[in-house]
Amino acid sequence: MTLRLGDTVPDFTQDSTEGPIHLYEWMGDSWVVLFSHPADFTPVCTTELGTVAKLKDEFAKRNVKPIALSVDDVESHKGWAGDIEETQGAAVNYPILADGDRKVSDLYDMIHPNASNTLTVRTVFVIDPNKKLRLNLTYPASAGRNFDEILRVIDSLQLTDYHKVATPANWKDGDDCVVVPSIKEEAELKANFPKGYTVIKPYLRMTPQPNK
């Protein structure tokens, strides 16, 4: 199954380090970051799981639940969690799916035959409370994921869901935003952007971040 942005993600039930996870029930009305790993006891992934554990408060304030996946079993995951805490200085504080039967890996197209017939690629899925896929990033095995970037994109998604703006290149929370091109009438511009806006080109208008 190939998931595209805007698709409703498939539901599943799978074992994890925190017991069976039924995705839709587990996520409730939260956002979810689902991120996959080729196997337990791998070096780059060890740093990633520790990083996500350290970002628990950052995810929580954005109403985001992280959940990891590896194809090894729960006992292996628990052993790995000990190494993660020892080497990264943070205990794993979110579930790790035990996808030994590749059920979730297949549902979410995490097995790429040209990379490996058996190991999941290192993918990130950002899922909104409506169960829609909002971001899909796939990394090579040699490059660790940038979770600050993932948080940045979640900030952008949550902002632009509620305000008629887009975010420019290298935007960070608090920076100026782009007025969406669909707003053209002066009255609508004033109503949506009481802080004002700057016209750089007719199609490029900047405004202070509306929710700051």
Q: Has 177 been annotated as catalytic?
A: no
Structural element, H or E, at residue 122: strand 122-127
- Tally of CA atoms within 13 A in the half-sphere of 103 that contains its CB: 15
Alpha helices in the chain (DSSP H): 23-27, 43-54, 56-61, 74-88, 103-107, 147-162, 186-192
Contact indicator for 69, 99 with CB cutoff of 8 Å: yes
3-class SS of residue 161: helix
Catalytic residue among 21, 33, 45, 121: 45
The CA-atom distances, in angstroms, between 142 and each of 4, 96, 105 are 25, 21, 20
Among 139, 52, 136, 146, residue whose Cα is nearest residue 95: 52
Q: How far is CA 150 from the centre of its chain?
A: 6
Active-site residues, by number, are 45
